[in-house]
Every structure is written in C-alpha cells, then in structure tokens.
Amino acid sequence: MNRKQLIELIKRKRSYLCVGLDSDITKIPNHLLDNDDPVFEFNKQIIKATIDFTVAYKPNLAFYEARGMQGILSLHKTMQFLDQFSNECFTIADAKRGDIGNTSTQYATAFFDKKASGFNFDAVTVAPYMGEDSVSPFLKFEEKWVIILALTSNKGASDFQLNTDVNNQRLFEDVLKTSSQWGSPENTMYVVGATRAEMLSEVRSIVPDHFLLVPGVGAQGGSLEEVARFGLNDDCGILVNASRSIIFASNQPDFTQKATDEAATMQKQMEATLREKGII
Amino acid sequence: MNRKQLIELIKRKRSYLCVGLDSDITKIPNHLLDNDDPVFEFNKQIIKATIDFTVAYKPNLAFYEARGMQGILSLHKTMQFLDQFSNECFTIADAKRGDIGNTSTQYATAFFDKKASGFNFDAVTVAPYMGEDSVSPFLKFEEKWVIILALTSNKGASDFQLNTDVNNQRLFEDVLKTSSQWGSPENTMYVVGATRAEMLSEVRSIVPDHFLLVPGVGAQGGSLEEVARFGLNDDCGILVNASRSIIFASNQPDFTQKATDEAATMQKQMEATLREKGII
C-alpha cells in the first residue's frame, strides 16, 4: 500500500488506529483453547471485531516466534486471512530487525516477498543501530515501508536514545535527520512512543511529512489527545497503536464485543481530532 | 553452556572459530537441491565437515526466515541435529532482536526455551537501541547468553555507533559501559567487527573480561592476526566468526572438503595465537 492509498484509507475510515496483535496464548480467552489453532482463531475474531474502526494491524513477531513452528503457522494463517482486507488495512510486521546489507535483504524478503516467504506485509519495524546499509535493502521494495525506531515508549529509551552528542543533538534526533535522507516520506515511517508525547512536536519539526507509528497508548499509559495534538500533520501522518487495551479488553466469551467497544471508542476520538484538524 | 564450559571447549579444541550458517539456498551446491530439505542437508554436511575445528555455530535467522515456513523448518532440523554435539559446540541465534520488556521476554522464550519453541540456543544477538529493559529479559535464563551489538563490521556502523557525545565518548563505548552493568561476563558478550580490529583494544579497555563475538573475518576483509592481537584476553575471550569463506568455499561436490580445509586453516592459526598468549 502506498502513501496516497494509506491517507485515503484513514479518511474513509475516519481513523488512524493500529491494532497490535500481541496475541499471547496465555492471555487469550480460555474457551478458544479447544480450537486447532487458538491464536489464529483469536486473531480472526479480533480482526472481524475491529476492522471497521482500524486502518492497520501489527502482529508482534515475538509472540508468534515464542511458540516455535506452531506460532509461525498461526501468523501465516492470520496474514492469509487479512489478505481479503488488503484494501481495508495496512499491515505491519513488528519485528525490530536490522543487520548488515546482505542479511537485511533476506529480512526484507522474509516480510515483503510473498513468493519466497509467504508473507506480504506492507511494512516492517527496523532498529537503526547498524546504520544505512541495514535499512536501505528494505527500501528497494516498491510500495513497501520501513518503520525505523526513533524514540521508543519503554523506560530503556532513556539509556541511549536521549544521549546528547557534541552538537547538542540527541541520538533520536540524529537518527531522524540522518535516516530521513535514506528514503522518503513515501517509504519511511518512525516509531515515536506516546509515553513521550511532548517530544512529538520536536520529532515533527525534524520530519514534518513522515508518518509516525505511535505505540504506548492504552496499557502503557500514553494519552491519545496529546498524541493527536503534537503528532498530527496535514495528511494525518500518524498511526496510533493499541494492543493489550483492545485485544485483551476481556478474556471472557464477550472479548470480541469488548474489543469492538474499545476500538470504536478510540475511532470516535480519532474522528474528532481529524475533524478538528480539518483533515476530514 | 556456561562460561567455564565454553573456555574448556576452546582449550580442548584449540580453536575459537565460530561458523556462521548463513545458508542461502541460492548459493549452496546444485547437487543438493534434489534433497527434500536442501538447506538442512547442506548444514548437516557443513557441520560434520567443520565440527573438529569449530567451537560455535551461528545460524543467521534472516536466511531461514526468507524462505518462510520451509526455512524455519530447516533451522529446527539443523538445531535438532546439533543437539548431539551439545558438549562440543556453543550455538548462537544471530537474530538481532530487542523490544520492550514483555516482548523481549517472548523473544528469549523463542530462542532459549525448548519446551515452548523447540529452540535451545546458548546465545542470541540483540540490538541495544531500546536500552536495558529490552536486554534484561534474556539475562533471566540460566546458562544462556545475550550478545549485544557494540561496534559492527558494516559501513553503516559509522552512522551512529561512532557518534561522539558531550563527554567525548562514542556511542559504542557508552553501550559497552552501560550495558556491562546489566549482566556480567558470565552471560553477556559483545559484537565487535573485525573490520575495525584496531578498535578492539579500546573495547578491551572497557570490557576486559567479556567474550567478544567478532564477525567480518574472511569475506568482509578483517584480519585474524589483528583480531587475536587486540582481542584475546587471558581466557581467550573471543569467538571469531567466518561464514561465507567457509560454507561457500566451493559450490561443487567438494564443498565439504573445502569447508574442512578452510576451518582447519583458521583453527591452526588460532591454535598458534592461543599458544603464543599462553592460554594452551
């Protein structure tokens, strides 16, 4: 999906909600455990329950890899199920990959090249520590996106990302400035945590046009209002992720209804912010 | 495998060679392609051909993920095959993972918890960008190791890793100093590229006791002599990785013999440096 299509999708659904499929098998409703593939069944029901309010789905690879072959199979089935909604949602492999050039080419193949790997994600998250040649192989795939970690939502973000260099610039600022030259707003997004919403305006001053993927709203405590205030640009320019607060809103048979309610509530707030900003 | 066992293994085999299983299906000998699982067959033959000279094997996850379910299956079979050599080699998942705490716990499960995932690696490579809580979940597993990227062997290493901060300290130095407090030399190693061998002495001054995983010898141009001169400590303290120069030494039916020859040549050089240093 290209940038124009993504923006149209956001306007059509009046939402910039991304649902994180951190589908931990120990947290899904008990009654699903009798299924052949409980995680796939859970994902399928969550997707059906939220698709009207959601523009992106973001499976977190770790939760699938932790279950070995069975987990990877659940992810393949989930992505095959999502294929029917390919015009209705953007898909993100939250994988935090990144390696030397020839290896990053293989990772790009793993997530983007359906013929080779079975996966056809629109985007993949990448750590910037290894620099340009670890990111650029992902940018060679047309209408695919790399989402580079800039300022993350966790406590450890302050260990290195806020380091100030000799030019009085913090590491995440350098990552934004340097890496925004590798690609363009047509194929590059950034992860900026909602738990540091006040920093979104600093981020916006460096990358005014890029989409930002904003985790940390919901279970991690970030505020949607603040994210919208500081993060929105004229094209919307943000995808706000919520995982646990939606997918684990209930662990009872009513989990789909609760997930719908949570997603609908967020969509309503998002619609209001999009109207306020004059985007829709 | 714990540190004491690893050091004993190095002394017994008179080698600190790590063989990187970057087993690209487009580069393995043609005559293997008739096998049900050509990559597994290739790995099996490479392992048999090199085990006498090798203390560690390091599958590069990207090359398996790029082939989808089939590739992951090849990796599982390879690790099951390596099980019989569990006292004869250390195993490293070269995966460059790292995410917020609850997600890193899942990645640790994916690589270390055989019951959950089928994998039982000794170590996994991790990117430090997200800080302490992205690394510490891996350290909770006994006799398992995290190998943190410090100074990598690729061109992009200079994009951020060499950034100088307000204290005139480069990012990789800060990563070494800060992260060495999270664990200990019993469960933490660092990636330091052989293409920057002269910097190994700087690395050694910060982490004198930690093991270093040194890629970049061979196809990437690093020199084994320089790595040994600057990197060895009294316990050896280095694992030198070679991938393509050994596993793709030939793409003909003689590939096992050529791999043996390459590994044996490196082991001989390593034995000489270990004797010189008085380690064996």
Closest by alpha carbon to B36, among B72, B70, B82?
Answer: B70
CATH number of the CATH domain containing A225: 3.20.20.70
CB distance A98–B103 less than 8 Å? no
At residue A28, φ and ψ (nearest 5 deg) are -80, 160
Active site residues of A: 96
SS (H, E, C) B156-207: CHHHHCCCEECCCCEHHHHHHHHHCCCCCCCCEEEEECHHHHHHHHHHHHHC
Residue A102: is its pLDDT beyond 90? yes
Q: Is A214 exposed, middle or buried (0-12, 13-18, 19+ CB in 10 A)?
A: buried
Mutate one of A40, A61, A103, A214 to test the B interface: name it (highest B CB count within 10 A): A103
Q: Which residues of chain A does B97 touch, with a Cβ-Cβ cutoff of 8 Å?
A: 62, 96
Check residues B199 and A130 and name the one with the higher pLDDT: A130
Average of pLDDT values for A60-75?
Answer: 98
Contact A100, A107 (CB under 8 A): no
CB contact under 8 A, B129 and A128: yes
Q: Residue A254 has what DSSP assignment?
A: T
Q: What is the predicted pLDDT for the residue at B236?
A: 98
How many independent structural domains does chain B possess? 1
Query: Of residues B11, B96, B258, B277, which has the active-site annotation?
Result: B96
Mean pLDDT of chain A: 96
Q: How far apart are CA B154 and CA B151, in angstroms?
A: 9
Instruction: Kindly identify which residue of chain B lies nearest to residue A154, measuring between CA atoms.
Output: B100
Residues of chain A contacting B118 with CB distance shorter than 8 Å: 68-69
Question: What is the residue type of A112?
Answer: F
Contacts of B147 in chain A (CB under 8 A): none
Beta-carbon separation of B76 and A69 below 8 A: yes
Residues of chain B contacting residue A153, judged by C-beta atoms under 8 Å apart: 100
**Do the chains contact at B165 and A160, CB–CB below 8 Å?**
no
- The angle subtended at Cα A269 by Cα A268 and Cα A271, nearest 5°, is 65
DSSP, residue by residue, A124-191: EEE--TT-HHHHHHHHTSTT-EEEEEEE-SSTTHHHHTT-BBTTS-BHHHHHHHHHTTTS-TTTEEEE
**Whole-number Å distance between alpha carbons of A93 and A97:** 10
Residue type (1 letter), A189:
M
ipTM computed for the complex:
0.97
Residue whose tokens read 């990796």: B75
For each successive 10 residues of chain B (280 residues), what is the average pLDDT? 98 98 98 98 98 98 98 98 97 97 97 98 98 98 98 95 92 98 98 87 96 87 89 97 96 98 97 97
Strand intervals (E) in chain B: 17-21, 56-59, 90-97, 123-126, 145-151, 188-192, 211-214, 238-242
* Confidence at residue B221, expressed as pLDDT on a 0 to 100 scale: 73
User: CA-to-CA distance for B276 and B280, rounded, in angstroms?
Assistant: 9
Percent above pLDDT 90 for chain A: 93
CB contact under 8 A, B63 and A117: no
- Residue contact B62–A103, C-beta within 8 A: yes
Indicate the pLDDT class of residue A172, thresholds 50, 70 and 90: very high
The answer to whether the CB of A182 falls within 8 A of the CB of A135 is yes
Segment A104-124, tens digit of pLDDT: 999 999 999 999 999 999 999
Q: Give pLDDT, residue B198.
A: 78
Torsion of CA B201, B203, B205, B208, to 10 degrees: -110
Contact assignment for A65 to B110 by CB distance below 8 Å: yes
Instruction: For residue A144, name the pLDDT band (cuts at 50, 70, 90).
Output: very high
Minimum distance, in Å, between the CA of residue A69 and any CA atom of chain B: 7
Nearest CA in chain A to B100: A154
Please indicate whether, in this complex, the C-beta atoms of A63 and B129 are within 8 angstroms of each other.
no
Predicted confidence at residue A217, as pLDDT, reads: 86
Could you tell me how many CB contacts below 8 A there are between chain A and chain B?
197
- A190 contacts A170 by C-beta, under 8 angstroms: no
pLDDT at A198: 78
Inter-CA distances, B25 with A104, A205, B262, Å: 16, 45, 21
* % pLDDT > 90, chain B: 93
Residues of A in contact with B119 (CB under 8 A): 68
DSSP 8-state class, residue B53: G
Residues of chain A contacting B156 with CB distance shorter than 8 Å: 100, 130-135
Shortest distance, CA B278 to any CA of chain A (angstroms): 35
Q: How far is CA B118 from CA A34, A117, A156, B57, in A?
A: 22, 20, 29, 17
Reported as type and span, the H/E element at residue B38 is helix B38-50
Q: Which of A157, A263, A247 is nearest to A203 (CA)?
A: A157
Q: Tell me the average pLDDT across A226-238.
A: 96
Task: Determine the pLDDT at residue B212.
Answer: 98
Quote the distance between the C-alpha of residue A212 and its chain's center: 9
Q: Which of B62, B109, B135 sits opposite A107 (nearest CB)?
A: B62
CA atoms of B43 and B268, how far apart (whole Å) = 23
SS3 state of residue A201 = helix
Identity of the amino acid at A6: L
More confident: A162 or B219:
A162
Which residue segment(s) compose the domain that B201 sits in?
A: 3-276
Closest to B156 (Cβ–Cβ): which among A133, A158, A160?
A133
Are the beta carbons of B103 and A66 separated by less than 8 Å?
A: no
pLDDT for the residue numbered A194: 85
A109, A154, A172, best to mutate vs chain B, most B CBs in 10 Å = A154
Residues 6 or more apart from B107 whose CB is under 8 A from it?
A: A62, A65, A66, B95, B97, B98, B99, B124, B137, B138
